[in-house]
Amino acid sequence: MRNVSERTLAVKGSPIRRLVPLANEAKKRGIHVYHLNIGQPDIPTPKAFMDGVRNASIDVLSYSPAPGISETIEALHDFYADMGVELDEGDLRVTIGGSEAFVFALQITCDAGEEILVPEPFYPNYNGHAIINGINVVPITTKIEDGFHFPPIDEIERLVTPKTRAILFSNPGNPTGVGYTREELQGIVDLALKYDLFVISDEPYRELMYDGHATSILEFPELGQNAILVDSISKRLSACGARIGCIVSRNKDVMAAVNKLTQIRLSAPTFAQHGLVAFLKDPNYKQEIEAIKTKFHARRDTLYDALQTIPGVCCRKPEGAFYIFVKFPQIDDSEEFVKFMLNDFDLDGETVMVAPGAGFYATEGKGHDEVRIAYVLEEPKLIRAVEILKAGLEAFVEQRERVAATAG
Ligand SMILES: Cc1ncc(COP(=O)(O)O)c(C=O)c1O
């Protein structure tokens, strides 16, 4: 029998979802699991969006136009104009989530065997799709002590080779919550211009920035043809299931390639585009997004403060998104720790699932003492989850010591 392709074999399962079967087993045993492993907010999707979906008068659920429904494109142009970014006809196409937009960006900027620079820890699906497309991710290692900001630009410059085609990052960042400053992005923009690289900026969390301003890559007009924005409504509208995002570039060749790719994948979801148009036409839409941000801001502060009660914990307060990347020096294998929490531990019938850190790195050996925590639940639940994590860490260390003593 023929085996599956090498490239699919090379893709690792998502560190965010891979251990979910263990959580399901724990639930079967009657244990309540706080899911802080996945960036799925519990906040209701805005009513105007859902009304737009419900009220869509559709007799035939046909394919929508490949580039996106014209009203969706217009509404998104207005959305960016409100941000101070004027787009020309053809600069924006609707995609199936931000996921499709970054896959398009990877495929359009790189051929197989070429390289893309990505600050690590990074959103693991970048690596999965890079592997599938034969593209090599070259990590720019960032450190917890620096709040995961970029290292000095000369360190990044040393990674550029004749095969480098692009720099890809999320801003604010998943999994770290880093919000890059205008100055550090200027350094990236200058580097990109020096070596004629594309900058692919993935900004689904742009409105979820709590300290300072989230600077969009579209705010650097000098980058012009080399800028590609990946965007999504999943997080800012708590509409992950809508599967609507977009790709934006002023580069006509890039957009011509996007047009072809949208045609061969047919169309983005129809109902959800009606929801998005209704939402963006609602005069209160900015307040709705602001209300979502306010909730996450409070959750960030609550979670950060609660984590400080765990002995030895190492983390910086993230500036944005809804993740915090945390080092627990008492563990050296965070995947084992997550398994322990799901298989062997509960505090009064409850446990917590977080995402093990190693899967967010390309560099072997990194992230084994780190986990990503998504603050996607209400504050009392976050406080309780940290209480459980703290007790779980103690129990994990004790169990390790017992095993070591027995072995010794
Ligand atoms: C940085 C980043 N980019 C893209 C995505 C994918 O988003 P979408 O639901 O729009 O496909 C996610 C989802 O978690 C993300 O965190």
Residue 55 has pLDDT above 90, yes or no: yes
Q: Print burial letters for 43-78: b (CB count within 10 Å at least 16), e (below 16).
A: eebbebbeebbeebeeeeeeebbbbbbeebbebbbe
Tell me, in angstroms, the distance from the centre of ligand 1 to residue 324's CA: 16
Give the pLDDT confidence of 149-190 residue by residue, as tens digits: 999 999 999 999 999 999 999 999 999 999 999 999 999 999
Pocket of ligand 1 (CB under 6 A): 39, 97-99, 123, 170, 174, 202, 204, 232, 234, 240, 245
Tell me, in angstroms, the distance from the centre of ligand 1 to residue 291's CA: 21
Q: pLDDT-derived band of residue 330, with 50, 70 and 90 as boundaries?
A: confident
Task: Give the whole-number percent of the chain exceeding pLDDT 90.
Answer: 92
Residue 12 has pLDDT above 90, yes or no: no
Give the domains, in start order, of the chain with CATH numbers.
6-44+287-407 (3.90.1150.10), 47-281 (3.40.640.10)
Confidence (pLDDT) at 408:
67
Alpha-carbon dihedral sign for residues 203, 176, 354, 132: positive
Residue 40 has pLDDT above 90, yes or no: no
Mean per-residue pLDDT for 357-381? 95
Give the pLDDT confidence of 299-324 residue by residue, as tens digits: 999 999 999 999 999 999 999 999 99
HSE-CB at 258 with a 13 A cutoff on CA atoms is 28
Tell me, in angstroms, the distance from the centre of ligand 1 to residue 243's CA: 10
Residue 15 has pLDDT above 90, yes or no: no
- C-alpha gyration radius of the chain: 22
Residue 18 has pLDDT above 90, yes or no: no
CB-based burial of residue 24 (10 Å sphere; 0-12 exposed, 13-18 middle, 19+ buried)? exposed
Chain CA centroid to CA 408, Å: 43
Tell me, in angstroms, the distance from the centre of ligand 1 to residue 234's CA: 7
Amino acid at 83: M
Q: Calculate the average pLDDT of the chain.
A: 95
Which of 37, 100, 122, 123 for a ligand 1 pocket mutation test, highest count of atoms within 8 Å of Cβ?
123
Residue 13 has pLDDT above 80, yes or no: no
Residue 334 has pLDDT above 80, yes or no: yes
Instruction: Kindly report the pTM of this predicted structure.
Output: 0.95
